[in-house]
């Protein structure tokens, strides 16, 4: 179709293209293709179709441009509004963060600060500008290497959080206590990239804690001292009542002596409850396991409460499972204390009917056996709403209980705590007017011994061949000891303090020293120290028994430190004193 055109033909072609008012792109294409006028006329319909397409495309393009322009404007407005909201949110967040009293910070994984709020400067006393990009382990802990190591371990091990309390000195010298909390931060791939944390001023709380601890320490010392002061004269009262019951008396005096003895023992029980409560609060109670005869322990408790049951005209049944092992390993003293508390409560609150004390095997294993101890009574019972409360200290079933029945309200609490350290729990079933059942399960280890050595109980009137030196500044306790020594035909000397004892001891030989610990002039500790340093081995090696109203947990370590041979608590039981003296009588080595 393409032919060489003359200038005339080109002119006619251009005139025709202009006449037909074609799209500029179509004109250019026709011109470039070399179409003449006749050819244009020939393909007029085709060119018109193409021309309409070009014009339509232009219209669409203009429409798209308008839409894009409108969208761009809308996007600009939205972006501007979003930026404004982000700025507002950031400003509000900064305002909130900077008004918080606690320090909020961010660090990288090296521990260098990358963000700090305004509270930093108030708490630490160092400007935010100075602290940024410095390591908080150096700023906060200085030479506290231990805390640095802990934080390094936290970062290296990538634990989830870290919490510590430390003492910090501001540049002004002011000491404060700070609590630090740390959490790791992560990137989108879950890789740790730093930490975020808080610093809180807990100075007031820490100082209050220190003050409370000091107050508790003062309270403990007060209770210990007061118990000692009370137990010392109480020792004389109980001892004298025992001596009166040992001597000849008129029949009508028996009841008076029993009342005196019972009342003094009740007072001692209340004091011991308070001491035990204090020990629990101070976490001083320890489990002491040894071989013990379970059957004998149960029988001793049965004998202890037999007279009470007869006096109150109540039945008292003791049932022991025939499968119960005779010798076990456990803390027999704590077990006995719990049983006495439960039996004492049962008899106290039971007026008709009686009490059943039962021991049963509930589970056996290769190395252990689990035994259930239960005390069931037909007493007044405990209402359901009070059953949880009565296990708390100083709480009784109702406001009239103490008035009607006496007691401190500590027996069940102490029993519960004693069982807790033996991995046991005190249980209760009760109904008002129908009685109560207390029980607990304890697992004991089997003992390798089939039978324990028989204990030869000596009558407390049996004479003892012994020479005893006593340090005792309390005249009532001295009188009590003198009366007992005379009954047992013991040769003795009483000294009022450590200096008097040493004067006597240097000139006279003895088999045993009973040493009061608290005395004027020279106390029992220093007196024992002097004796143990004597050059004469027959003097320095003499057995010394501490005789004190303090509990063994309070003075036990100190007694060992001063190389004493044993401990006897005031008020002491006459049988225990007799047994102790008889033991040293058999082992005495008199210096000739």
Distance of CA 481 to the CA centre of its chain: 44
Cβ pair 446, 368 in contact under 8 A: yes
Mean pLDDT in residue range 366-383:
89
Cβ pair 542, 522 in contact under 8 A: no
State how far the Cα of 438 lies from the Cα of 343, in Å rounded to an integer. Answer: 10
Q: What is the pLDDT of residue 396?
A: 45
Instruction: Give yes or no for residue 561 having a pLDDT over 70.
Output: yes
Task: Judge whether 235 lies within some domain.
Answer: no
488 with 530, same domain?
A: yes
Q: What is the pLDDT of residue 502?
A: 95
29 with 61, same domain?
A: yes
388 with 295, same domain?
A: yes
Which residues, in sequence order, are CB contacts of 483 under 8 Å at separation 6+?
A: 240, 243
Instruction: Give yes or no for residue 250 having a pLDDT over 60.
Output: yes
Instruction: Give yes or no for residue 24 having a pLDDT over 80.
Output: no
Mean pLDDT in residue range 174-203:
87
131 with 159, same domain?
A: yes
113 with 187, same domain?
A: yes
Q: What would the pLDDT profile of 252-298 be if each residue is shown by its tens digit?
A: 677 666 666 656 665 666 666 566 656 655 555 667 788 888 888 88
Range of the domain at 150: 100-201
Task: Judge whether 163 lies within some domain.
Answer: yes
- DSSP secondary structure letters along 280-335: HHTT------EEEEHHHHHHHHHHHHHHHHHHTT-EEEEEE-TT--SEEEE-HHHH
39 with 142, same domain?
A: no
Distance of CA 372 to the CA centre of its chain: 28
105 with 58, same domain?
A: no
Q: What is the pLDDT of residue 91?
A: 67
298 with 428, same domain?
A: yes
320 with 346, same domain?
A: yes
Cβ pair 451, 325 in contact under 8 A: no
Task: Judge whether 70 lies within some domain.
Answer: yes
Task: Judge whether 221 lies within some domain.
Answer: no
12 with 40, same domain?
A: yes
Q: Which of 197-211, 212-226, 272-286, 490-504 has the lowest mean pLDDT?
A: 272-286
65 with 119, same domain?
A: no
Q: What is the pLDDT of residue 99?
A: 66
The last residue of one of the domains, among 185, 201, 217, is: 201
State how far the Cα of 17 lies from the Cα of 30, in Å rounded to an integer. Answer: 9
Instruction: Give yes or no for residue 581 having a pLDDT over 70.
Output: yes
Q: What is the pLDDT of residue 403?
A: 38
Instruction: Give yes or no for residue 424 having a pLDDT over 60.
Output: yes
Q: How many percent of the chain have pLDDT more than 70?
A: 76
What value, to the nearest 5°, has the Cα angle with vertex 409 and ends 404 and 412?
A: 120
Task: Judge whether 417 lies within some domain.
Answer: yes
3-state SS assignment for residue 364: strand
3-state SS assignment for residue 387: coil
Q: What is the pLDDT of residue 395?
A: 44
Task: Judge whether 129 lies within some domain.
Answer: yes
The last residue of one of the domains, among 171, 201, 231, is: 201
Task: Judge whether 8 lies within some domain.
Answer: yes
Q: What is the pLDDT of residue 564?
A: 94
State how far the Cα of 326 lies from the Cα of 274, in Å rounded to an integer. Answer: 33
Mean pLDDT in residue range 87-97:
65
More confident residue, 585 or 154: 585
- DSSP secondary structure letters along 431-463: ETTTEEEEEEEEEEEEPS-SSPPPP-PPPTTS-
Confidence band, pLDDT 50/70/90 cuts, at residue 1: very low
CATH number of the CATH domain containing 546: 3.40.50.2300
Q: What is the pTM of this model?
A: 0.45
338 with 415, same domain?
A: yes
Q: What would the pLDDT profile of 48-61 be if each residue is shown by its tens digit?
A: 788 888 788 877 88
Task: Judge whether 433 lies within some domain.
Answer: yes
Report the domain count for the chain: 4
The last residue of one of the domains, among 201, 222, 254, is: 201
Instruction: Give yes or no for residue 39 having a pLDDT over 50.
Output: yes
């Amino acid at each position: 179709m393409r032919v060489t055109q003359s200038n005339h033909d080109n002119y006619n072609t251009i005139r025709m293209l202009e006449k037909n008012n074609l799209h500029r792109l179509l004109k250019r294409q026709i011109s470039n293709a070399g179409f003449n006028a006749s050819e244009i006329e020939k393909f007029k319909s085709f060119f018109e179709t193409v021309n309409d397409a070009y014009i339509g495309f232009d219209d669409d393009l203009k429409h798209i441009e308008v839409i894009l322009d409108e969208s761009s404007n809308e996007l600009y407005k939205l972006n501007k509004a979003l930026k404004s909201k982000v700025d507002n949110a950031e400003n509000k967040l900064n305002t909130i963060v900077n008004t918080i009293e606690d320090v909020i910070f961010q660090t990288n994984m090296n521990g260098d600060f990358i963000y700090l709020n305004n509270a930093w400067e108030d708490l630490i006393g160092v400007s935010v500008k100075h602290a940024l990009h410095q390591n908080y382990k150096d700023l906060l802990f200085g030479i506290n290497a231990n805390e640095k190591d802990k934080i390094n371990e936290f970062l290296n091990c990538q634990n989830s959080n870290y919490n510590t309390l430390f003492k910090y000195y501001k540049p002004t010298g002011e000491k404060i206590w700070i609590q630090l909390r740390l959490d790791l931060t992560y990137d989108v791939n879950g890789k740790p990239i730093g930490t975020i944390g808080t610093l809180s001023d807990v100075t007031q709380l820490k100082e209050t804690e220190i003050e409370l601890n000091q107050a508790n320490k003062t309270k403990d010392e007060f209770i210990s001292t007061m118990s000692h002061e009370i137990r010392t004269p109480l020792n004389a009262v109980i001892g004298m009542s025992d001596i009166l019951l040992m001597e000849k008396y008129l029949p009508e005096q028996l009841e008076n002596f029993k009342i005196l003895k019972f009342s003094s023992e009740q007072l001692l029980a209340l004091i011991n409850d308070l001491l035990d409560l204090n020990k629990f609060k101070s976490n001083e109670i320890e489990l002491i396991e040894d071989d013990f005869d379970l059957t004998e322990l149960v029988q001793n408790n049965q004998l202890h409460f037999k007279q009470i049951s007869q006096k109150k005209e109540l039945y008292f049944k003791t049932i022991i499972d025939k499968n119960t092992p005779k010798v076990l390993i456990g803390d027999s003293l704590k077990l006995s204390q719990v049983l006495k508390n439960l039996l004492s409560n049962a008899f106290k609150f039971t007026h008709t009917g009686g009490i059943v004390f039962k021991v049963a095997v509930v589970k056996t294993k290769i190395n252990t056996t689990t035994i259930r101890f239960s005390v069931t009574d037909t007493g007044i019972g405990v209402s359901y709403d009070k059953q949880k409360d009565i296990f708390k200290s100083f709480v009784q079933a109702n406001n009239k209980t103490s008035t009607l029945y006496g007691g401190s309200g500590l027996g069940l609490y102490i029993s519960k705590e004693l069982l807790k350290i033996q991995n046991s729990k005190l249980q209760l079933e009760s109904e008002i007017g129908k009685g109560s059942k207390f029980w607990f399960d304890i697992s004991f280890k089997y003992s390798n011994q089939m039978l324990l050595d028989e204990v030869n109980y000596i009558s407390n009137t049996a004479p003892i061949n012994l020479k005893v030196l006593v340090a005792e500044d309390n005249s009532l306790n001295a009188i009590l000891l003198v009366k007992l020594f005379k009954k047992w035909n013991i040769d003795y000397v009483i000294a009022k303090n450590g200096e008097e004892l040493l004067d006597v001891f240097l000139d006279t030989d003895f088999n045993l020293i009973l040493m009061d610990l608290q005395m004027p002039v020279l106390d029992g500790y220093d007196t024992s120290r002097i004796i143990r340093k004597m050059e004469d081995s027959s003097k320095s090696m003499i057995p010394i028994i501490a005789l004190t109203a303090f509990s063994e947990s309070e003075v036990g370590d100190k007694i060992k430190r001063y190389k004493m041979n044993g401990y006897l608590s005031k008020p002491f039981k006459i049988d225990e004193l007799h047994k102790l003296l008889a033991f040293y009588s058999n082992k005495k080595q008199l210096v000739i």
